[in-house]
């Protein structure tokens, strides 16, 4: 009996917490279960048009093998592809620059510690609405007025970039200690002096990080807009290789170009961030 009591002693004071039932967790579980069941039902009832799934996977793997192991240029030269990638980078840079300038100004008024709650809520609500609509839809909306091309792509991508960066910048500004702002106000500093002497210097690293992150997003979007909106660049070349020339090998070479520049942009952003942190 004593041995039994001693063996149970270490566990006698431990209480196993029970997770209380809450409505949000229940809704999430039900939603996930419904999505899983719908996915299974979709795979079972999907009309495969007599194509065997295994044969389809084998054909896809063969296409990928041909695309990436036999990549070549046939309808484009190396110089034309390089020019196309530079056009795409320029499109991403331009939209990021315009978006960052506009968002920096609006982000100051969206930050709760720098603006009143009414103005902040209005700006954040509008930004959330714009951000909820995909970039490609904004580009197509502006294409109705400006026509398909680089103008609609720049305006639509800038529109979405502004809404994205407003959220990022305003949250960075809100991280500033309220005591610093109150101390500057107490010393007689006006709003602009608080912004330039305290807010921006303390947030510059975060601002640049978010801006480069958005630039990387815009680079990927610019590739897609080159095909979907006729904005030119490497995306349009990929569209021509896939839908007009039907050349898988050329698509593979263009994909290598896009991947190489994406890696270079990431390395450049990481080095710049490291220098800023130092």
pLDDT in tens, 156-181: 889 889 999 999 999 888 888 777 77
Residue 3 counted as domain residue: no
Whether residue 7 has pLDDT greater than 60: no
189 and 59 share a domain? Answer: no
Query: Quick one: average pLDDT of 260-271?
Result: 83
Structurally, the chain folds into a number of domains equal to 2
Q: Are residues 60 and 112 in the same domain?
A: no
Two tokens, residue 63: 């296409």
Looking at the structure, tell me whether residues 101 and 207 fall in a common domain. yes
DSSP state, residue 148: T
The number of helices, as runs of H, and strands, as runs of E, in the chain is 12, 0
Tally the C-alpha atoms within 13 A of residue 196's C-alpha that lie toward its C-beta: 5
1, part of any domain? no
Look at the block and give the residue holding tokens 């240029």: 73
Q: Are residues 122 and 29 in the same domain?
A: no
Percent of the chain with pLDDT over 90: 11
Give every CB contact of residue 232 below 8 A, 6+ residues apart in sequence: 84, 87, 91, 149, 150, 226
Q: Quick one: average pLDDT of 237-250? A: 82
Are residues 86 and 198 both part of a single domain? yes
Query: Per the domain annotation, does 262 fall within a domain?
Result: yes
234: containing domain = 76-277
CATH number of the domain bearing residue 129: 1.10.3720.10
How much is the mean pLDDT over the chain?
81
32 and 137 together in one domain: no
Place of tokens 């197509």: 140
| Same domain, yes or no: 125 and 39 | no
With a threshold of 0.85, does the pTM exceed it?
no
Length of the chain: 278
Residue 4 confidence (pLDDT) above 50: no
Does residue 4 lie within any of the structural domains? no
More confident residue, 43 or 33: 33
Tokens of 151: 């103008």
Domain end position, chosen among 53, 69, 85:
69
Per-residue pLDDT band at 47 (split at 50, 70, 90): confident
pLDDT value at residue 1: 46
247 and 118 in a single domain? The answer is yes
Residue 108 shares a structural domain with residue 147: yes
Query: Residues 142, 143, 144, CA angle at the centre, nearest 5°?
Result: 90
Predicted confidence (pLDDT) at residue 197 exceeds the cutoff of 90:
no
């Amino acid at each position: 009996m004593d041995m039994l009591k001693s063996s149970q002693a270490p566990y006698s004071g431990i209480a196993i917490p029970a997770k209380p039932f809450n409505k949000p967790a229940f809704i999430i579980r039900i939603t996930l279960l419904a999505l899983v069941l719908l996915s299974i039902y979709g795979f079972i009832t999907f009309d495969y048009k007599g194509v065997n799934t295994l044969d389809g996977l084998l054909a896809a793997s063969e296409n990928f093998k041909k695309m990436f192991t036999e990549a070549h240029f046939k309808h484009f030269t190396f110089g034309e592809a390089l020019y196309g990638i530079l056009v795409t980078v320029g499109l991403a840079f331009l939209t990021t620059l315009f978006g960052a300038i506009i968002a920096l100004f609006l982000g100051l008024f969206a930050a709760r510690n720098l603006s009143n709650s009414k103005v902040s809520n209005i700006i954040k609500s509008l930004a959330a609405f714009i951000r909820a609509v995909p970039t490609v839809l904004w580009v197509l909306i502006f294409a109705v007025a400006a026509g398909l091309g680089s103008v609609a792509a720049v305006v639509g991508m800038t529109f979405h970039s502004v809404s994205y960066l407003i959220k990022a910048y305003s949250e960075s500004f809100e991280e500033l200690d309220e005591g610093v702002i109150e101390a500057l106000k107490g010393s007689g500093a006006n709003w602009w002096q608080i912004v330039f002497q305290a807010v921006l210097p303390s947030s510059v690293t975060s601002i640049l990080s978010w801006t480069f992150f958005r630039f990387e997003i815009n680079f990927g979007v610019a590739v897609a807009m080159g095909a979907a909106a006729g904005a030119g660049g490497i995306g349009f070349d990929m569209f021509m290789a896939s839908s007009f020339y039907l050349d898988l090998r050329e698509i593979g070479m263009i994909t290598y170009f896009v991947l190489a520049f994406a890696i270079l942009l990431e390395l450049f952003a990481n080095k710049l961030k490291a220098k800023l942190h130092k």
